[in-house]
Amino acid sequence: LGGGSTMGSQHLPLARAVGRWLGIVPLERGRIAMRAEGGAVLAKDSARIPGTLLFRTGGDTTVRGYGYRDIGIKLDNGVIGPGRYMAVGSVEYQRPMLRDGRPSEWENTFFIDAGAVADNPKDMKPSVDIGTGVRWRSPIGPLQIDLAYGVKVKQVRLHVSVGFVF
- Domain containing residue 142: CATH number: 2.40.160.50
Name the residue range of residue 150's domain: 2-162
Mean pLDDT of the chain: 94
Q: Tell me, what's the pLDDT at 11?
A: 84
9 pLDDT above the threshold of 80: no
pLDDT tens-digit series, residues 123-156: 999 999 999 999 999 988 899 999 999 999 999 9
95-133 burial, b for 16+ CB within 10 Å, e for fewer?
A: bbeeeeeeeeeebebebbbbbbbbeeeeeeebbbbebeb
166 pLDDT above the threshold of 70: no
pLDDT tens-digit series, residues 81-129: 999 999 999 999 999 999 999 999 999 999 999 999 999 999 999 999 9
165 pLDDT above the threshold of 70: no
DSSP 75: P
Q: How many domains does one find in the chain? A: 1
Q: How confident is the model at residue 5 (pLDDT cuts 50, 70, 90)?
A: confident
For the chain, helix, strand, coil in percent to 5 are 5, 60, 35
Residues above pLDDT 70, as percent of the chain: 99
- Cut 0.75: pTM above it: yes
